[in-house]
Structure 1
Amino acid sequence: MRNRFHRLIFKIHSYTGIVSGIALLLIGISGSILVFSHELESFVYNDLLVSAGNGSRISLDSALVIARNTFPEMDFVGFNELPQSHQATFQFFMMDDGIQYKAFIDPFTGTLLHSGERYDHIADWLLIFHYTFAVPVWGDLAVAVLSITMIISLLTGIVVYRKYIGKVLQFKVKFDFKNWRKGSSSLHRIIGVWSLLFMLMMAITAFLMMKYAFTETNFDREHWKFKSGPIHFSIDKTLEGIKKKYPSYHAVEFFLPTQTDSLSYIAGYIDEPSFLFGDYNDQIIFDGKNFQASFVSDKPNAEKFSALIFPLHSGHYGGMIVKIVYCISGFIPGILCVTGILLWLRRKKNR
């Protein structure tokens, strides 16, 4: 009875790994690159992100007026993120009938530097590929299902390799590359054991982020479309008001009102970016008159955990060392996939 159970677990482990293997290989590689998405964007699009001009910057209010007048056909025009330096250009996020666009405006002259579909930019395309394979609706669902198969494969792997876990952690199992069979077996065991907790964290956080794909909202494309709402306040004066009330607050993003939500949401951080929560989890809600702070330090534990999900998955916390670890770890699913398939083929051939 026990042997039958272990054979069943092994089959589940093998088939979930094989079915999801190639997809996870692509997701892992794209994830490794995305860890350095900000650095990649700065390198490739530096001329769009940093202005060579000088002098006095035009206001955020003026920049928004220029953007909306330049693109009157857009349903929504808002800031992609707030400028964080004197030379930083204005970045705008726009939407027209559900299609997302970006635009860059010079902060000194107000001239349009570039505009185009959001996913024409390499980091944005990698992001949408990583989470949806660049396929709306069904891609979201596929990645959500893959996160489940990955969890199953990892949990069944614990059962399959239960006798080796202690030995690997005590360094009693060594890499053996005498032939491809022993090489693939030792790689699969050792890397699989040492990366188990990390891979489980990645799979679980992926599921928590993608679980919306199982809801009706994912299949309702109209839900993801929105239009600009009226703005009855000055963005510049609003940020000045925030600075007066919360002197140590640094605003990073400013989400403008839509026709279905009249509130504005400002995301940023207190004093300096948090080691765990990054630079946008301290939020301020603005109704046009009053501020309501929603700082992560004041949130209940359940909300703190929710705020941790994306940073833990993306590696956008803890600095450069964490990024390097995440970048290297992104190749682990590919290694486990290839070695797992080789082990499965060997077992099938021996039969």
Structure 2
Amino acid sequence: MSRKNYISKLAFSMHSLLGLITGLFLLLLGLSGSAIVFLKEIDHAINADLLKVKPSGKTLTLDSLYRKIGEDHPNLSGIAWLNPDAPADEAYEFRCYQNDGKLSTYDLGMISINPYSGKILREGALKNLYPSIMYWILQFHWSFQLGIPGLLLATIFGITMLLSCLTGLIIYRKQVWKVLTFRAKFKWTNWRTISSGLHRVVGVWALLFNIIIFFTGFWMNKFSMDTDYWKKQTIASPLNTLSEQPIDQMLWKAKKSMPDLLIKNVYLPTQAGKYFKVTGTVEGQSAFFDNGNSVAIDPVSGAVVSILRLAEKSIWEKVEATFFSIHVGSFGGLPIKILYVIIGLLPGLLSITGALLWWRKVRKR
């Protein structure tokens, strides 16, 4: 057997094995990933009556809402205000970071609050279908709802999919150009030829997209492979240590420190040693960069600890700043999101056609 044939045979064996082991999970990742492309839109459509509020005078202070959440949930790792740029008739959305000391749970929760009355509109953990099925799907996409082991599993599948793409490229290397130039012959004779043709054509067209999506997913989740991270998750969060400084005062100081910052996220510390932090974009910044700019403030002294601008960061840090928006398709409008939904379903289609091809080979034997 020649060296070239040996490499092709080895690539085919690896490609088949990887597909069979991860096929079902890739199907689930593709379906959930396509759903969360329109996460906010679908969530707000389902809960329109709940999340629309009637503006009535001034909103309550952010500090009062922060302390209300901190009192109701005394063991938080942190709180994030997810929509500081929300319109006046929209509820405030908060993400609660928790840690119960169990690896089997991925402790994220959410709270929606009427900013004028302080009324809790919905509240719960993302491991439950309530308060939001869409956020349940989001957590499923990141961890299969299996806690920290599930997070690691999703990370590993990112690696296996990259290997699957590379081995697929070796197998179909002679067909790539034909497929891209629409010269590849497609036979509709029976289910065998149809599945073979679909697998080849879809695999080639989805190759670059899959490499990008699964690499960015792996890179953002790579912390799940850190043993120190696992150890920290076995230690439950202690009682909250809320900020000594008023949250609204620190928010004002952050805006003053970076006047051109368009704030997208506000992190509210609940444990000693953590900083109040705002992140976002600046005017004229490409939509590929989801944020990259931040101001951090010490919640004890009220002093500005750091001011970071994307423009001043290294090339690799700028590349990393694009990973989230590229992974979820948030850098474009409706056409880009629709494209992401369609292409996001392709790994599942590849797993189905790949399974059919494997079954055909088994039956021949």
TM-score if structure 1 supplies the norm length? Answer: 0.91
Contact 1:275 1:319 in 2 (8 A): no
Deviations 1:302-345 (A, max 9, x none): 11122222222122212222211111111101111111111122
Give the corresponding residue for 2:261: 249
Q: Distance in 2 between matches of 1:194 and 1:72?
A: 48
Residue 302 of structure 1 aligns with an amino acid whose one-letter code is: W
Residue 27 of structure 2 aligns with an amino acid whose one-letter code is: L
Residue 336 of structure 1 aligns with an amino acid whose one-letter code is: L
Deviations 1:130-158 (A, max 9, x none): 11110012212221221121111111111
Deviations 1:237-259 (A, max 9, x none): 33333333433222222112242
Contact 2:36 2:138 in 1 (8 A): yes
Give the corresponding residue for 2:36: 34
Q: Distance in 1 between matches of 2:331 and 2:235?
A: 31
Give the corresponding residue for 1:269: 281
Higher mean displacement: 214-223 or 118-127: 214-223
Contact 2:78 2:98 in 1 (8 A): no
Alignment of 1:161-240 (within 5 A): 161-220=172-231, 221-222=233-234, 225=237, 228-240=240-252
Alignment counterpart, residue 66 of structure 1, candidates 68, 82, 87:
68
Give the corresponding residue for 1:23: 25
Give the corresponding residue for 2:121: 113
Residue 133 of structure 1 aligns with an amino acid whose one-letter code is: F
Q: 1:80 to 1:241 in 2, by over 3 A?
A: closer
Runs of 5+ unmatched residues, structure 2: 101-106
Residue 325 of structure 1 aligns with an amino acid whose one-letter code is: L
Give the corresponding residue for 1:78: 79
Residue 328 of structure 2 aligns with an amino acid whose one-letter code is: S
TM-score if structure 2 supplies the norm length? Answer: 0.88
Offset at residue 273 of structure 1 (A) = 6.6
Q: 1:67 to 1:139 in 2, by over 3 A?
A: closer
Q: Distance in 1 between matches of 2:276 and 2:227?
A: 26
Percent of pairs with identical residues: 32
Residue 328 of structure 1 aligns with an amino acid whose one-letter code is: I
Aligned-pair Cα RMSD in Å: 2.3
Q: 1:9 to 1:111 in 2, by over 3 A?
A: closer
Q: Distance in 1 between matches of 2:69 and 2:10?
A: 60
Residue-pair matches, total: 349
Q: Distance in 2 between matches of 1:192 and 1:307?
A: 28
Q: Distance in 2 between matches of 1:127 and 1:223?
A: 25
Partner SS, residue 359 of structure 2: helix
Higher mean displacement: 246-255 or 87-96: 87-96
Deviations 1:250-292 (A, max 9, x none): 22221122424332111122126731012x3321112222263
Residue 31 of structure 2 aligns with an amino acid whose one-letter code is: I
Give the corresponding residue for 1:89: 91
Alignment of 1:106-145 (within 5 A): 106-119=114-127, 120=130, 121-145=132-156
Partner SS, residue 280 of structure 2: strand
Partner SS, residue 348 of structure 1: helix
Runs of 5+ unmatched residues, structure 1: none
Q: 1:311 to 1:295 in 2, by over 3 A?
A: same
Deviations 1:108-151 (A, max 9, x none): 22223232223332122111111111001221222122112111
Give the corresponding residue for 1:103: 111
Q: Distance in 1 between matches of 2:315 and 2:236?
A: 29
Higher mean displacement: 18-27 or 75-84: 75-84
Q: 1:44 to 1:166 in 2, by over 3 A?
A: same
Q: 1:261 to 1:306 in 2, by over 3 A?
A: farther
Q: 1:82 to 1:182 in 2, by over 3 A?
A: closer
Give the corresponding residue for 2:53: 51
Q: Distance in 1 between matches of 2:157 and 2:213?
A: 12
Offset at residue 227 of structure 1 (A) = 5.3
